Amino acid sequence: MHRLIQKVTQSFSESFNKDSEVVFHAPGRVNLIGEHTDYNNGFVLPCAIDRGTYMAIGIRSDNLINVVAVDNNGQNSQWQSVLPIEKDKDQSWANYLRGVNEQFLKRKLEPMGMDVVVTGNIPQGAGLSSSAALCVVFATAINSINRFDFSPTELALLCQAAENEYVGCNCGIMDQLISVAGQENHALLIDCSNLSYKPIEMPNDMQVIIVDSKVSRGLVGSKYNKRRKRCEQAANIMQVNSLRDADLDLLHRHKDKMEVPTFHRARHVITENLRTQEAALALRSNDYGSLSRLMRGSHVSMRDDFEITTSEIDYLVEIIDSVLHDRGGVRMTGGGFGGCVVALAPSALGQLVVDAVNNLYPEKTGLIAEIHMCIASSGAGKIENK
Ligand code: GLA
């Protein structure tokens, strides 16, 4: 039995003096390429990872939701599953769950009361979607227990709405959709204009290495929302619905009407959409030279045009790139301003990457990076035979 399943069921018994009835799981994610494209109706190429959130549940006969968060010192949050659901002022983690509950109620569905214990091993605040996984595991549990019959895409949209409307983060759909719909050993090429997705097999001699820079991601929400505004402005100026419908030619024809940062933000999104589609083809055909070039291009574009990297992150990418050259790719992943770098590396080079990071990164930055060797994993669901 997975260590975390044991941990969450044991904590449940200790917290509620009874056994849990079911356990659900939702994974974190890493985005291989396609950054800040999702809310511009563009393409993303994430995979779910083998780090996740686990939730043990006992069904109640009333409508109380009673949650214990093992990883937040056993903090507890309780509320009635009826509108309106007030925010928890002291425990921000609980608002992701309250927001999900509210979304079901807004759709005129009434989830049953539940006792809940939650734990997990997605590093928090590292840009690996621990908050999306928290929403997704809860929504998956509510959907299954109450037999609400939501499709994977509908569940992802519900979770995104919870973050947008209740928590107040204006995020796109990528994190929630990959956490719901991820597939073992595959990345998903998601077309965010219609939410269709294609599984792309991961080459079996390639390792997904995630390196957490440990740069703290302060004020991320406001910087994220500012970037998003610029993208919307650029689309307005070019009179297209979203940046998905623009190309470089159109952008250059409108350059004079845009502030310089707006032009740069739009150029990132337009070129990133092209790189992402090309990268999916390269991944599928084991073309590591192209992957390397495209991931490097993505990083440079995030650094110079979207301006969301930090000097520490740039240095991490430089260190890993100098090991991989054209045998694998590396770039910052996620919303930016800190967080993680993702590398796709041939298994034979994995240890060299780890050694290079450990030898060089602390000396220049004073930080110790945390390295996660990950496997592309399946999306959220009920744990059978717990
Ligand atoms: C965050 C958001 C996603 C996406 C990425 C950037 O992870 O939650 O929707 O916009 O940033 O690609």
In terms of domains, do 163 and 231 share one? no
Q: For a ligand 1 pocket test, name from 30, 37, 38, 340 the mutation site with the most ligand atoms within 8 angstroms of its C-beta.
A: 38
pLDDT mean over 259-269: 98
pLDDT of amino acid 300: 98
Pocket around ligand 1 at a 6 A CB cut-off:
31, 35-36, 38-39, 171-172, 174-175, 334-335
Could you tell me the CATH number of the domain that includes residue 354?
A: 3.30.70.890
Given the CA of residue 38, which atom of ligand 1 is nearest to it?
A: 10
Q: What are the angstrom distances between the C-alpha of 334 and each of 153, 177, 179?
A: 21, 14, 14
pLDDT of amino acid 1: 62
In terms of domains, do 246 and 286 share one? yes
**Annotated active-site positions, please?**
175
Is 47 or 385 the better-scoring residue by pLDDT? 47
Question: pLDDT per residue over 95-130, tens digit each?
Answer: 999 999 999 999 999 999 999 999 999 998 889 999
pLDDT of amino acid 245: 98
In terms of domains, do 251 and 322 share one? yes
Ligand 1 mean position, distance from CA 174 (Å): 6
pLDDT of amino acid 218: 66
Question: pLDDT per residue over 301-326, tens digit each?
Answer: 999 999 999 999 999 999 999 999 99
In terms of domains, do 194 and 279 share one? no
In terms of domains, do 84 and 172 share one? yes
pLDDT of amino acid 164: 94
pLDDT band at 384 (very low <50, low <70, confident <90, very high): confident
Could you tell me the CATH number of the domain that includes residue 40?
A: 3.30.230.10
Domain that holds residue 73: 2-201+377-383
pLDDT at 207 over 80: yes
pLDDT band at 386 (very low <50, low <70, confident <90, very high): low
Write the residue with the smallest CA distance to atom 2 of ligand 1. Answer: 171
Give the chain's domain count. Answer: 2
pLDDT of amino acid 118: 98
pLDDT band at 217 (very low <50, low <70, confident <90, very high): confident
Ligand 1 mean position, distance from CA 128 (Å): 10
Question: pLDDT per residue over 345-365, tens digit each?
Answer: 999 999 999 999 999 999 999
